[in-house]
Amino acid sequence: MACEKNLSHGVGDSSFENIRKTTHFAISAHQDDIEIMAFHGILACYQQEHCRFGACVVTDGRGTPRAGEFADVSDDEMVEIRAAEQTKAAEIGDYANCVLLGHRSSDVRQLDFEPLTSELVRLLNLAQPKVIYTHNLADKHKTHLAVGLHVIKAIRRLPRKLRPDKLYGCEVWRSLDFLPDTHKVLLDVSARPELQSALINTFRSQIAGGKNYEQAVIGRRLANATFQDPYAPDAHSRLSIAMDMTPLILDDQLCPRAFMQEILRATRDEIDGNLASIMGDLPV
């Protein structure tokens, strides 16, 4: 399959018939974020008839760091390279659809950037997925953070009956093992390790550019599985951790900052409670 480009520029809904078949949908800032953060959805739908995975990449990738064989590649050439890599990943991962919106990161980081919000609303109206994967609200990359907020904004424009059942904020530029268990979703990604590696290694422009993403991503998944529970054997060989952001699409008045502040309070209280249970009133 080829990734569709420029959804908003004269492309009719009939061109996106496969989007209507989507059950699990990932919306990311950059090419390769999908494969890092949403493998749970890819795995759930891989070679399945009734579950289908779809993807949307918001930015064009022109600002990516580059080194080695890609050091002298122009921005326009990099856009085409990253689009080709994403298309190959979509083929390997058996995606039902893959849309590249091609926006500049500087525009995406503006929450009043209406073209993006409108495109996402249109996509979600077509897809009507049950599960959406996007960037979590603690991600340290500001373009990732902005995409997560745009997704929330777009979902809130949908009628209640068309909204997904679950919205997961996933790990890329921050691990989520710090979350209290009450705010954490454990996503089993133990199966098909060869597919995991193949998807990440598709993005050669990133790996050759100085980021060993395959070992980093697989290492995080292995570590999540081992360090999840200090008192029990590993229940899974690989885990991704997601922030459950579903409350933000159930309550349109819930401010994302207030949502995160509550999570941070819960994290603080858990840590302090553990210390208090050992120390009691003893001075240090």
Which residue do the tokens 């897809």 mark? 127
CB atoms within 10 A of CB 106: 11
CA dihedral 98, 101, 102, 105 (to 10 degrees): -110
Give the tens place of pLDDT for each residue, 142-173. 999 999 999 999 999 999 999 999 999 999 99
Q: Which residues pair with 22 in a beta bridge?
A: none
Q: What is the Cα–Cα distance from 29 to 89, expressed in whole angstroms? A: 16
> Which domains are seen in the chain, by residue range?
4-255 (3.40.50.10320)
Which residues fall within 8 angstroms of residue 172, CB to CB, at 6 or more apart? Answer: 33, 36, 37, 135, 139, 141, 144
- Average pLDDT over the chain, rounded to an integer: 91
pTM of the full structure: 0.93
Q: For 110-130, what is the mean pLDDT?
A: 95
Return the H-helix or E-strand segment holding 85. helix 75-92
